[in-house]
Amino acid sequence: QKEVEQNSGPLSVPEGAIASLNCTYSDRGSQSFFWYRQYSGKSPELIMFIYSNGDKEDGRFTAQLNKASQYVSLLIRDSQPSDSATYLCAASISGGYNKLIFGAGTRLAVHP
Amino acid sequence: DGGITQSPKYLFRKEGQNVTLSCEQNLNHDAMYWYRQDPGQGLRLIYYSQIVNDFQKGDIAEGYSVSREKKESFPLTVTSAQKNPTAFYLCASHRGTGGQPQHFGDGTRLSIL
């Protein structure tokens, strides 16, 4: 059974701090990894995607991938109360034509 | 504006009734997907389609059916065989081939009457 695991949280961080969200995946053949933000009652919104080992930065967001450890993370710098949401990690299934496996999400709470 | 439109936003189903959820995209995306989300759980794949007139079952296809007669449309029917249909249904699409990010519509929330 291919899985993506995330700590459900809540992860509570003060405003202005760095939030670190983590995800592990079981399928060694996964090639593509995605982070989505989901506000309560809304649909997921793509935040970052990463294909290669290392870091990828976009504004306040940095995605990190370590394929050897089967580990993906998302760092949010200068966290804002508007970042409070559930963050879903997704990994592509090997041989599955862009079929994705989603984690259950980590709830982030940024407090003023 | 380009995007993925799901309708209706809210839907109520009576016992024994089939209901159809609409998903339309004007992004010229080739692939389209249907997911189900239950509270506190990740998204689970119901059906997906890579090209017109072709679709494949996902992990939880039982009790659901789809069609892909046009590139821009991928409706999902929740049949009476689906005994626990209450969930948030999400349609997604992406351009090109594998590895591309999927983008989501706003979702349809289905409840039992």
In Å, the largest CA–CA distance within chain B is 40
A36: chain B residues, CB-CB within 8 Å: 104
Report residue B1's pLDDT band, with 50, 70 and 90 as the boundaries. low
Distance CA B30, CA B98 (A): 11
Distance CA B90, CA B11 (A): 13
Interval B5-62: pLDDT, tens: 999 999 998 888 999 999 999 999 999 999 999 988 889 999 999 999 999 999 999 9
A96: chain B residues, CB-CB within 8 Å: 98
Whether chain B has a CB inside 8 Å of the CB on A97: the answer is: yes
Interval A15-69: pLDDT, tens: 999 999 999 999 999 999 999 999 999 999 999 999 999 999 999 999 999 999 9
Tracing tokens 């209450």 back to the chain, one arrives at B86
Higher local confidence (pLDDT), A1 or B14: B14
Please choose, from the candidates B79, B68, B78, B63, the residue with its C-alpha nearest in 3D space to the C-alpha of residue B108. B78
